[in-house]
Chain A
Amino acid sequence: MSSPLATALIDYLGALLLFTMIVILGSSQLYRTIYAVAAQSAFLAAAAAVLAIATRNLDLWVIAGITIVVKAVLLPWLLIGVVRRIGVKREIEPVVPTLLTLAIAAGTVVLSFQLAASLGAVRQTVTGNALPVGVALTLLGVLVMASRKTALAQMVGLFACENGIFFTAIAVSQGMPLIIEIGVLLDVVLGALVMGIFVLRVRSSVDADIADLSRLRA
């Protein structure tokens, strides 16, 4: 595969990643955000596959495979399992009005591209627009977490944020070392498991959403 084609494909996939992020930000249904983050992970895996072909880097195939299995299937399945177990009584209640959230999101994307454009020659080490897209996704993930009050919606934000980081990581020329990527993914899975256990334990003992507890005060 020629390099300009790979760059163009990475940019298209980057646009799809941003689009799924907007869906997560704008949606008020928990199931929809979980499916959106699963789709986002699938696009991320596709990006890894494109780069694997373009750079003939076998490690990236492994990363694409793990991403599909872990982030596009396993983690969403875990989230849906938790949702079924606790039976979601209410949908997402945004702390900030959705329209305002989307406006902030648009500003964040523009700023990320501005930031990346200000960098010099080093930009070439990252394929296409993966750097600004990665920055934007990371920041928007935080926005999701800050604007949601339920634990599961916050976890979706966290996964989306990590997708952004991975997108930039695989697009750095040569990719990240495989052993490091696997270690990071292992942490993501373990962290998600622990969070899931916390959510279930609080739901079973006090019948409340863990992110909604606010007894501890200064």
Chain B
Amino acid sequence: MEASLLWLLPAVPALTALTVLAVRSPRRLAVIDLMASLAVFLLALRLGWSVVQHGPVRSGLLGADAVSVVFVLLVGLLVAAVSVYTLGWMPRELAHRGIRESRLRLYYALVHGFVATMLLTVLSDNLGLLWIAMEGTTITSAVLVGFHGHRYGLEAAWKYIIVTTIGISFGLFGTILVYAAAAHAQGGALRALSYQAIAAVASQLDPGIVRIGFIFVLIGYGTKVGLAPMHMWLPDAHSQAPSPVSALLSGALIKCALFGIIRFHTIARGACGPEPSGTLLLAFGLVSVVVATPFILAQRDFKRLLGYHSVEHVGIVALGLGFGGPVGTYAALLHVVNHGVTKALVFFVAGDTISRYRTRNMHAIRGLIGIAPFAGTMLLCGAFSLAGVPPFSIFVSELLVVRAGLGGGHYLAVGVFLLMVAVIFAGLVHHAGAMAFGAAPAGADRSPSRLSPLVGMALLGAVMLLLGVFIPPGLDGLLRRATEIVLG
């Protein structure tokens, strides 16, 4: 049963992608989309439960341990929330001719293909399959980024596919180097690419080649994660995609790429000790936080602002991994969940806001709370959470990252990090406050929201608040187990 879950999880969205190609009615497409996404969410919960109860599962090229379950649950939750949100978002998008009805089935097929490749990425035990699935996410999501078909979307899509494809080619090279090291230490071609088999013999691997391999992987998958200075494509792609897709890109996809880095981090720790990979992650993390800050302050485009925020937050995850130790690693994994949920929520709000004001320019968006009270409130809550204010979830994980940094004696890095967070807080509260309050322009759409986008936002908002107040024992146990696995 457990082993078949591994195959079912990516198979459900993959089959859905093929099925919807034969469907034309928008209503029927929306129902199939919702059903498939809820099925994915339930299967993810079921897999999570069985891994927590009975330990890791493995079947052929696929496998799941506590680390993968953290990512599978995040993807499952976001996919379900995105489908609920899309129910009400899509009719408005069709009315504004953002997406033509004739291309609707292609849209749903690509979204589900994208979800299938993401799930395959985090469920791969074989590091080669992990790479194949990750490149699959690039191909499916690049078409979605350019889905609107105007020149901005196509420009962003081209930049995205070229930069990340070349980036993860480096990831493949790193994978091959680690494979060569593993093949040297033990026989068997398929075994030498299995993560669990490599991790078990990590201490016998040649440190020299693993170190070079990790550098290639960090730069390669780091491009896909959006770590600075390889992040140039990210604000373009995340801002040009349709809003539900932006939520998946920012909330789930960059986390899947982080999953790849975490796997190789564990192997590198085993082969070369905690120093080399930890120091590199710390450096890239700090650079990402610092580089993102001025762009967040000077931003005018709502969705680009959120894109640069993603650069900042993946930087924070990398910092947590870099500070290392149980606290830092736990904080990094918790931050993956917290940022994923919060960022998807804010992209939901952005989608609603942009279709009301017909602009993405933050100077032209005023008085959201007056015309859409719930979305306006969620905007403020999400912005406060992104800025690291209690009682929202991101505050908890950022605090833990700081604690890990101080515990490890990285005073300078922590100082720079806190300074940047303070500056970003000021900038973000300014941006969000200006959009939420004031008098709405006359042209804004004041019609009441449909129910489903509000349900989607409420779902993620509730998780965001809940994780800020307390961490459920089940999740805490899962994260502790995952931390032990990452630390080897």
User: Using a CB–CB distance below 8 Å, which chain A residues touch chain B?
Assistant: 115, 118-122, 124-126, 131, 134-135, 138, 141-142, 145, 151, 154, 157-158, 161-162, 164-165, 168-169, 172-177, 179-180, 183-184, 186-187, 190-191, 194-195, 198, 201-202, 205-206, 208, 210-211, 213-216, 218
Chain A minimum-CB-distance residue to B208: A119
B170 close to A (CB within 8 Å)? yes
Give the complex CA separation of A190 and B113 in angstroms: 13
Please state if A115 and B155 are interface contacts (CB–CB under 8 Å). no
Asked if residues B151 and A206 are in contact (CB atoms below 8 Å), the reply is: yes
Closest beta carbon of chain B to A149's beta carbon, Å: 12
- A205 contacts B132, CB within 8 Å? no
Across the interface, do B139 and A216 meet the contact criterion of CB distance under 8 Å? Answer: no
- A-B CB proximity, top 9 nearest: A180-B128, A122-B206, A213-B155, A183-B132, A187-B135, A125-B184, A210-B158, A172-B180, A174-B189
Complex Cα distance, B136 from A76, in Å, reads: 22
Please give 12 more A-B residue pairs, beta carbons under 8 A apart, in addition to A121-B206, A216-B152. A120-B208, A138-B169, A154-B162, A158-B162, A179-B61, A180-B193, A183-B132, A184-B131, A187-B136, A195-B158, A198-B154, A216-B155
Q: Are A183 and B128 CB-contacts (below 8 A) given A120-B208, A121-B184, A122-B181?
A: yes
Tell which of B126, B169, B190, B193 touches A165, judged by Cβ atoms closer than 8 Å. B169
Segment of B141-149, B260-268, B477-485 engaged in the interface with chain A: B141-149
Give residues 112-161 of B contacting A (CB, 8 Å).
Answer: 126, 128-129, 131-132, 135-136, 138-139, 142-143, 146, 149, 151-152, 154-159, 161
In the bound complex, CA of A164 to CA of B166 (Å): 12
Contact A165 B149 (CB under 8 A): no
Contact B184 A145 (CB under 8 A): no
Asked, given contacts A138-B169, A145-B166, A187-B136, whether A165 binds B176 with beta carbons under 8 Å apart, the answer is yes
With beta carbons under 8 angstroms apart, the residue of B139, B170, B180, B212 that contacts A190 is: B139
Chain A residue contacts of B454, Cβ below 8 A: none
26 contacts between A and B (CB under 8 A): A115-B212, A119-B208, A119-B209, A121-B206, A125-B184, A161-B166, A172-B179, A173-B184, A174-B187, A176-B193, A180-B126, A184-B135, A184-B172, A186-B132, A187-B135, A187-B139, A191-B165, A194-B143, A195-B158, A198-B142, A201-B154, A202-B151, A202-B158, A213-B154, A213-B158, A216-B152
Q: A158-B162, A158-B169, A216-B156 are in contact. Are A176 and B181 (CB under 8 A)?
A: no
A198 CB contact (under 8 Å) in B157, B169, B192, B212: B157
With a cutoff of 8 Å between Cβ atoms, the chain B residues found around residue A142 in the complex are 166
Report whether over half of chain A's contact residues are helix, strand or loop; otherwise say mixed: helix
Contact across chains for A124 and B184 when beta carbons are under 8 A apart: yes
Residue B374 lies at the interface, judged by CB distance under 8 Å to chain A? no
Q: Give the residues in chain A near B126, CB-CB below 8 Å.
A: 180
The answer to whether B176 and A183 have CB atoms under 8 Å apart is no
B7 at interface (Cβ–Cβ under 8 A)?
no
Q: Is there an interface contact between B172 and A165, defined as CB atoms closer than 8 Å?
A: yes
The range of chain B's interface size is 35 or more
| Contact, CB under 8 Å: A191 / B135 | yes
B235 close to A (CB within 8 Å): yes
What's the Cα separation between A183 and B187 when bound, in Å? 22
Give the shortest distance, in Å, between B150 (CB) and chain A (any CB): 8
Residues A195 and B162 in contact in the complex (CB < 8 Å), given A176-B179, A184-B128: yes
A175 touches B189 (CB 8 A): yes
Residues in chain A near residue B158, CB distance under 8 A: 151, 195, 198, 202, 210-211, 213
Say whether B406 faces chain A, with CB atoms less than 8 Å apart: no
B206 lies within 8 A of A120 (CB): yes
Question: Smallest CB–CB gap between B293 and chain A, Å?
Answer: 13
A168 pairs with B151, CB closer than 8 A: no
Smallest distance from the beta carbon of A212 to chain B beta carbons, Å? 9
User: In the assembly, what is the distance between CA of A40 and CA of B162, in Å?
Assistant: 21
- Which residues 166-202 in B have Cβ within 8 Å of A in the complex? 166, 169-170, 172-173, 176, 179-181, 183-184, 187, 189-190, 192-193
- B236 interfacial contact with A, CB 8 Å: yes
Q: Please, how many angstroms separate the alpha-carbon atoms of A52 and B158 in the complex? A: 37
Whether A205 and B183, one on each chain, are in contact in the complex, defined by CB atoms closer than 8 angstroms, is: no
B85 to chain A: closest CB distance in Å? Answer: 25
With a CB–CB cut-off of 8 A, which chain A residues contact B208? 118-120, 122
**Do residues B166 and A158 form an inter-chain contact, with CB atoms below 8 A?**
yes
> Which residues of chain B come closer than 8 Å to A176, judged between CB atoms?
128, 176, 179, 189, 193
Best-buried of A131, A168, A177 by chain B (most CB within 10 Å)? A177
Contacts of B240 in A (CB 8 A): 216
Question: Nearest chain A CB to B314's CB is how many angstroms away?
Answer: 18
The answer to whether A205 and B151 touch across the interface, beta carbons within 8 angstroms, is yes
Contacts of A161 in B (CB 8 A): 166, 169
Check A169/B176 contact, CB under 8 A, given A121-B206, A195-B162, A213-B155. Answer: yes
Q: How far is the CB of A55 from chain B (nearest CB, A)?
A: 11
Which of B132, B156, B209, B298 is close to A180, meaning CB atoms less than 8 Å apart?
B132
Q: How many angstroms from the CA of A216 to the CA of B193 in the assembled complex?
A: 40
> Which residues from chain B contact A126 at a C-beta distance below 8 Å?
180
Q: Residue A138 contacts which of B138, B156, B170, B206 (CB distance < 8 angstroms)?
A: B170
A-chain residues with CB within 8 Å of residue B157 when the two chains form the complex: 198
A172 with B138: CB separation less than 8 A: no
Cα A138 to Cα B170 with chains together (Å): 8
B151→A215 contact, CB < 8 A: yes
A202 to B187, CA, bound (A): 49
Residues of chain B lying within 8 A (CB to CB) of residue A125: 180-181, 183-184
Contact present for B139 and A191 (CB under 8 Å): yes
- Which residue from chain A places its CB closest to the CB of B142 in the assembled complex? A194
**Are B184 and A183 touching (Cβ within 8 A)?**
no
